[in-house]
Amino acid sequence: MRPLPSKPLSPERILVIRLSALGDVIQVLPAIEALSRLFPTSRIDAVTESLSYPILEGHPRIDHLHRFPRGEIRKEWRTAESRGQARERMEELKYQLQRTHYDLVIDWQSNLRSAWIRMQTHHRHVLQLHPADGGELPFWWPGWRPRNPAGRVHRIERAMHLVRELGYRGPTPQGEIAALSPPFSEGGSRAPILIHPFVSAFGRFKEWPLGHWKELAGQLAQKKETVWISGTPAERAEVEEWVHDSSPQIEMAPETRDTADLAKLVRRCQAVVAADTGIVHLSAMLGIPTVGLYGPKDPTVHGPLGPRAVALRSGVPCSPCPLRDCEHSLCMSSLGVEKVLSGLDTLLDPPSKA
């Protein structure tokens, strides 16, 4: 890797790569918008995994979207009977990537998975994360990098750092999501408050205790708010049991098929409360009042950004921390329900200016 040349680039065809989880993909959308403003006549294609594919499909800044079916390939590779299907998927992706010669590839993933994708493309330049900013590829890996690391900044600004290296000088855009249905409107009734009490299996130590979630939902129901509880298909059985034993004001959220459906669901809500997971970044970008609950991760780097978003912490001395797991998760369990209610009230009923 080496710094970009001093001569400005003028790419006609650009490929951007951002794989991984929903929140990671959401947080590069402002940078994609900035890239489109910097090169307004360029064609911008993108590669993402199956989970995030629906939410990027039809995005106004993306001309063509490639699906990287990593989950499907990994599942099919486990048995000899389905391994041929996995090979076919890989060959189809390679064929699609090789149909266009790209002047510039921007690799916001910068790990071995994205490096494999880059190897399948015909390209002139590659720009990737600086190793000090979390890029996993070593210094000697082929490609360009920023002259200096972005440093300890929010993940949105880390993505923007690559676009600024290319010459963008404007403010960070809000970010866009493909066209959605209008926000909730049903006479004089209030939209529901969505609470999402689950995190990925990889991030269990970021969970807020279930008892806290139930207390939060109960107090909101006492205020005559409709509360929707969301979860994946695997989590809905637990939600059903919870809803069955709760106030009629507490309901199971409508089922969603994919991340595009999830965006439409969030759009229908008055507010969203969730732990450190992708839905807080989605709702914040949509302009929905968002309360994110944080403990192990630093919200100045990983929290939701937006004028109607707030990240709450308990303030225990060990938070944030660099651990990938924790036996007690005190930082989450000590975050009280009253603090969350207060943060939500502030967003929904901001104090009037004197």
Name the burial class of residue 103, with classes exposed (0-12), middle (13-18) and buried (19+) by CB atoms within 10 angstroms of its CB.
middle
- Is 2-165 CATH 3.30.530.20? no
Q: Where do we find the tokens 């630093």?
A: 298
Given a contact cutoff of 8 angstroms between Cβ atoms, the answer to whether 51 and 23 are in contact is no
The long-range contacts involving 251-259, CB below 8 angstroms and separated by at least 24 positions, are 251/192, 251/226, 251/227, 252/228, 253/192, 253/194, 253/228, 253/229, 254/228, 256/230, 258/51, 258/54, 258/55, 259/22, 259/51, 259/52, 259/53, 259/54, 259/55
| Residue 18 phi, psi (nearest 5) | -150, 110
DSSP-assigned states of every residue in 99-144 = TSEEEEEEESS-SHHHHHHHHTSEEEEEEE--GGGT--S-TTSSSE
Quick one: how far is CA 20 from the chain centroid? 9
- 193-348: what fold? Rossmann fold (3.40.50)
pLDDT of residue 354: 44
pLDDT of residue 315: 84
| Residue 41 phi, psi (nearest 5) | -100, 0
- pLDDT (tens, 9 = 90+) of the chain, 354 residues, equals 676 766 778 999 999 999 988 999 999 999 999 999 999 999 999 999 999 999 999 999 999 999 999 999 999 999 999 999 999 999 999 999 999 999 999 999 999 999 999 999 999 999 999 999 988 888 888 889 998 999 999 999 999 999 999 999 999 999 999 866 555 554 456 899 999 999 876 677 889 999 999 999 999 999 999 999 998 878 888 888 888 888 899 999 999 999 999 999 999 999 999 999 999 999 999 999 999 999 999 999 999 999 899 999 988 888 888 877 777 789 999 999 999 999 999 999 875 544
Joined together, the tokens standing for residue 193 give 């408050």
Indicate the helix (H) or strand (E) that contains 155: helix 155-165
- Equal fold, 2-165 vs 193-348: yes
Q: What residues contact residue 59 under an 8 Å CB cut-off, 6+ apart? A: 29, 32, 46, 65, 176, 177, 178
Task: Annotate 307-345 with b (16+ C-beta within 10 A) or e (fewer).
Answer: ebbbbbbbeeeebbeeeeebeebebbbbbebebbbebbe
Task: Say how far apart CA 148 and CA 130 lie, in whole Å.
Answer: 7
* Domain residue extents for the chain: 2-165, 193-348
Cα torsion at 139, 140, 141, 143 (round to 10°)?
80
Amino acid at 267: R
Given a contact cutoff of 8 angstroms between Cβ atoms, the answer to whether 213 and 281 are in contact is no
Q: How many helices (H) and strands (E) does the chain have?
A: 14, 13
